[in-house]
Chain A
C-alpha cells in the first residue's frame, strides 16, 4: 500500500516570527480533525517544540537513536497527552549538533511517512546547514512571516532557496497581524507582503496575547475550546491545508478585535 504522506516544512528565514508556534498549533488542529500527524523538531540546537506542546518531560529517545538502531521508532515518538493523533519526534540531542545530514533527515522522514498522513517539520532559523538538512526531505513548504520589512526580506530569500531545492507548492502564512496598525498604515499591509513574496496566502494569524500564555503553559491554543482570535486562525489554516474553502479574515473588519466584540455582546445580554 502506498499512501501519499504530506511532508510540510515550516520555515521563515528570520527567527522569532512564529514557526514553532505554528507547527505546534497546526499539529494539534490537524490531529483534532482526525488526521494522523507527526511533528518533527529539526531545530535541535535550540529545540522548543516539545516545550510548546508540553511534552518536554516525556522525551526519552530521539531520532538520533532511531537511526543508530538503538531504539525503535515507536519508542522515540512521543504521543500527545490529550490528542493521541499527534506525535512528536525530537530530531536529536542539543549537545551533539553535527550528527544530522540531509541523508539522515530523508531516512527519518521516510520512516515517519509509513505511519502518518501529515509530517510537519519545524525548520531552524537561518539558511545554513540546519535549513539545508530540514529542507532535504520536504515535499512542500509553509513560509511564515510577519508584516515587517526584515522578516519579509528573509522570507523572500528562503522562498528562492526552496525553489532551487525543488520544493513545491510553497504557501504563505502571515503571522502577528495587528489590524489597527495595518489600518493606520503603520505596518506592512497584507497586499504589501503578498505583492513582494508572490505566494498563495494560506492564512493570516492575528496578534493575540493568549499565544504567550499558551506557550508558557505548554498547551497550544488550538487544544482547548478557547475561541481566541489566533486559535481560530490556526484552525482555519488546518482546514485550508486539507483543501477546505474557508474565507480569509479581513483585517480591516477585525479592527475592534473579536474579544472586544464578544465582551460587548455579553454586556448587552446582561442588561
Chain B
C-alpha cells in the first residue's frame, strides 16, 4: 500500500481544441498501474455524467481519482460538489505562493486572480490560490475561500474565508455582506444579524484581531495599486 502514496500517477486530458477526451482517455488509462491518480482536465467543461464515465473507466483498471485539476472554474465547482478534491490550475504558469512569501510580502499583485461567473450554491465551494473575483452570489450553505482577497459582485450569504494561509491584510468585499460566518486569516466572526443597507458595498477587514465590517474603501485592494493605475 505504501507504494501508492509514493507514486501518484497523472492522467492529463488533451486540450479541448486538440482532441476529444472521450477518444483519448481509454488509451491513457491503459498504460497505468492500479492506485491513486491525479486527473488533469485541462480546459474541459465536465459535468457529473462525464465524471461518472471517467470514474467507471478508471475503475476497470483499479485506478482511484485522488485530485481533479482543471483550468475551468465550472468543472472545479462540479467536481467539488461531487465530493472530489478539486484544484484550479491557472493557465499562465504562475507559481503558487508559499506561506513565507505571503507573510513577508503584502503586495498581492503577483497572486493569481480567479474569476468566476455564476451563483455558488449550498454545498458547493470555490477556492483560490490567489484572489477571487466572483460575479454572482454566494448562497447560504456555500463556501468561498482564498489565499488572498475575496471580491464579490453580488450577495455574500454563505461562508467566506479570506487570507486562509494567514494573511491578516486580506479583505472580503461584497455588494451585500450578510454572511453566515466570516473568516480572515485566523479570526472568525458570525455575520451581522440586521438587514443590510441598500446600495452600499461593504468590506470586512481585520482590525486588531477583530473582524469589522465597514463601507467599502474605494481604493479597493491596496493604495499603491490604485496609484499605479493613475500614473500609468
Contact = CB atoms under 8 A, between A and B. Distances in A.
Contacts of A176: none
A159 interface: yes
A156 B49 contact: no
Contact of A196 (B48, B82, B139): B139
Nearest to B47: A166
A4 interface: no
B81 A161 contact: yes
Contacts of A198: 119, 137
Contact of A153 (B48, B52, B78, B141): B141
A196 B140 contact: yes
A94 interface: no
A205 to B, nearest CB: 23
- The secondary-structure label for the interface of chain B is loop
Interface residues of B, number: 19
Interface string B71-87: 00000011001100000
B116 interface: no
A156 B47 contact: no
Q: Which of A157, A160, A163, A196 has the most CB of B within 10 A?
A: A160
A156 B139 contact: yes
A159 B120 CA distance: 10
Nearest to B121: A160
A196 B78 CA distance: 20
Contact of A164 (B48, B122, B157): B48
13 contacts: A102-B52, A132-B48, A153-B141, A156-B121, A156-B141, A157-B121, A157-B141, A160-B77, A160-B124, A161-B123, A164-B48, A164-B82, A165-B49
Given A153-B140, A164-B77, A159 B47 contact: no
A165 B82 CA distance: 10
A166 B137 CA distance: 20
For this complex, into which size category does the number of interface residues on chain A fall?
10 to 19
Q: Which of A163, A164, A166, A195 has the most CB of B within 10 A?
A: A164
Contacts of A102: 52
Contacts of B119: 198
Given A196-B157, A198-B137, A156 B122 contact: yes
B81 A164 contact: yes
B78 A164 contact: yes
B81 A160 contact: yes
Given A156-B140, A157-B123, A196-B140, 11 more contacts: A132-B48, A136-B49, A153-B140, A156-B121, A156-B139, A157-B121, A157-B141, A159-B121, A164-B81, A164-B82, A166-B48
A156 to B, nearest CB: 4
B157 A160 contact: no
Contacts of A153: 122, 140-141
A15 to B, nearest CB: 17
Interface string B124-158: 10000000000001011100000000000001010
B141 A165 contact: no
Interface string A174-205: 00000000000000000000011010000000
Interface in A136-187: 136, 153-154, 156-157, 159-161, 163-166
A87 B121 CA distance: 35
Q: Which of B47, B77, B121, B140 has the most CB of A within 10 A?
A: B121
Contacts of A195: 155
Contact of A166 (B49, B77, B141): B49
A53 to B, nearest CB: 31
B47 A160 contact: no
A-B pairs, 10 with minimum CB distance: A160-B121, A164-B78, A156-B122, A166-B47, A157-B122, A157-B123, A165-B48, A164-B48, A156-B121, A160-B124
